[in-house]
Structure 1
Amino acid sequence: MFALGRLLVIGFLVLSVVYICLSLYSRAVRRDKLEKEWDEEIREGDRETFVEGGLREYDGSLRRKLILGVYIVPLTVISVIIYFTNFY
């Protein structure tokens, strides 16, 4: 039981680091796309206001929520492996 607890704690910490890195990377890519869109197409108004508005939309988007799969998928796989190992 202690080994499972240790696995879960270490796994959660590793997945948290992966989630933070992936989240920051995805936000940076979105920021670059918004800046590029403003530079090529819009060029009216304030650039920072346009980018911040786009990032606010991104914060509520489905893509942002899908990044939570970093926690869900590995924990599900580990649970299935443990279940089949112990009960089949």
Structure 2
Amino acid sequence: MFALARLFVVAFVVLTIVYICVSLYSRSVRRGKLEAEWDEEGMTGDRDAFIRQGLKEYDNSLRRKLILGVYIVPMCLVGLIIYLNNFH
């Protein structure tokens, strides 16, 4: 039982690092797309405010929430594999 708890703690730490990296990467890609949209459309006004507003919308988007799957999918798969190996 202690080995299983240690496995989940180590996996949680590793998945947290992966989550942070994926989240930062996704946010930077979104920022790049907003900057490209601003440049292509030749908009006028405050560019930083446009990007800030776009990133605020991104923070509430479904894509941002789907990144949490980094935690859910691997933990469920490990749990399923352990269950199937031990009880079937």
TM-score bracket for the superposition, by shorter chain length: over 0.9
**Structure-2 residue corresponding to 1:32:** 32
Identity within the alignment, %: 66
Structure 2 spans left out of the alignment, 5+ residues: none
| 1:41-71 Cα distance to aligned partner (Å, 9 max, x none) | 0421110000000000000000000000000
* TM-score of the superposed pair, with normalisation by structure 1: 0.98
Please give the residue correspondences for 1:1-88 in structure 2 after superposition, counting only pairs within 5 Å: 1-88=1-88
Q: Which runs of 4+ in 1 moved over 4 A?
A: none
| 1:12-54 Cα distance to aligned partner (Å, 9 max, x none) | 0000000000000000000000000001104211100000000
How many residues align structurally? Answer: 88
* TM-score of the superposed pair, with normalisation by structure 2: 0.98
Structure 1 spans left out of the alignment, 5+ residues: none
**How well do the aligned residues superpose, as a CA RMSD in angstroms?**
0.6
